[in-house]
């Protein structure tokens, strides 16, 4: 008979990590704006490349041709201390590969085709959550990359409105958005729509936010957007500065005195769905 140790209750509060790279991120945004280049600045980054976006970058990367490749990568990471961050690029394609794998395993065409009162969908959700949690349990930071789209919403009361959200499938989005510590939109702002900025505090126009206490503050006020500068290296410095509460302005897009304009006003490759 195996004796179980008695549960010991905590006597002190936990402290949030002071290392930006310890957290889980969902980084989504416009095509070719520099999401992969920024993710490459995270410490010790290993890329799980589900789509060919890293050919022009000097990075550690593994080509993910199937969901089994991803599971094998997680297994290999459990037996090494190499790499501090894992980047999933992109979660959109990763989820497609996952769906193919799990449907083959369950011998079904699609979970939605099964008249089983949602049991197949529950299996899909549980398997996806288990794999991502296994990755995080290796002790590494995780950056999940997705693209952006503009979606029309119709509230029960009031007028319709558009909002920028990730392009990942709804089932993946419901898990990922609730799972990550930081959800950041990488888009274009400014009078000419050419300023690259990351939004870390969302609104009715942009889906974003974080749950890191005491971080991303400017003079004690929550930061909305972070300037990305002219290079990936400068962008990384600015993100760290904002994380460490060293940014001087909150850069609120709703502030009429700000040079930042409405992100929805800029013509882009986003398509409403």
For residue 98, give the H/E element and its range.
helix 91-106
Q: Whole-number mean pLDDT of the chain?
A: 88
Q: Is residue 129 classed as helix, strand or coil in its secondary structure?
A: helix
Instruction: Give the strand pairing for 195-199 and 225-227.
Output: antiparallel
pLDDT of 91 reads 95
pLDDT of 111 reads 73
Q: Give tens-digit pLDDT for 37-89.
A: 999 999 999 999 998 766 778 999 999 999 999 999 999 999 999 999 999 99
Give which of 200, 170, 168, 163 is closest to 185, Cα–Cα: 200
Distances (CA, A) of 158 to 161, 206, 262: 9, 18, 20
Q: Is residue 10 classed as helix, strand or coil in its secondary structure?
A: coil
pLDDT of 265 reads 65
């Amino acid at each position: 008979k195996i004796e179980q140790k008695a549960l010991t209750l905590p006597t002190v509060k936990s402290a949030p990590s002071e290392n930006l790279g310890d957290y889980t991120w969902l980084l989504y945004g416009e095509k070719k704006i520099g999401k992969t280049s920024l993710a490459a600045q995270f410490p010790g980054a290993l890329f799980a490349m589900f789509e060919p976006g890293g050919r022009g970058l000097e990075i550690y990367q593994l080509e993910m041709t199937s969901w089994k490749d991803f599971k094998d990568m997680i297994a290999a990471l459990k037996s090494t201390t190499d790499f501090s961050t894992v980047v999933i690029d992109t979660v959109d394609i990763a989820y497609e590969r996952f769906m193919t794998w799990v449907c083959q395993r369950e011998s079904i065409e699609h979970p939605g085709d099964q008249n089983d009162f949602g049991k197949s969908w529950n299996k899909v959700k549980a398997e996806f959550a288990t794999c991502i949690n296994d990755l995080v349990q290796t002790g590494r930071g995780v950056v999940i990359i997705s693209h952006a789209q503009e979606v029309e919403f119709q509230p029960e009361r009031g007028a319709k409105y558009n909002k920028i959200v990730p392009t990942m499938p709804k089932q993946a989005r419901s898990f990922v958005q609730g799972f990550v510590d930081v959800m950041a939109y990488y888009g274009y702002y400014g009078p000419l729509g050419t300023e690259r900025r990351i939004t870390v505090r969302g609104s009715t126009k942009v889906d974003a936010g974080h749950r890191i206490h005491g971080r991303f503050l400017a003079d004690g006020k929550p930061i909305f957007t972070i300037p990305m500068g002219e290079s990936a290296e400068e962008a990384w410095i600015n993100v760290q500065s904002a994380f460490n509460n060293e940014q001087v302005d909150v850069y609120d897009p709703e502030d009429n005195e700000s040079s930042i304009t409405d992100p929805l006003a800029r013509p882009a490759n986003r398509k409403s769905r």
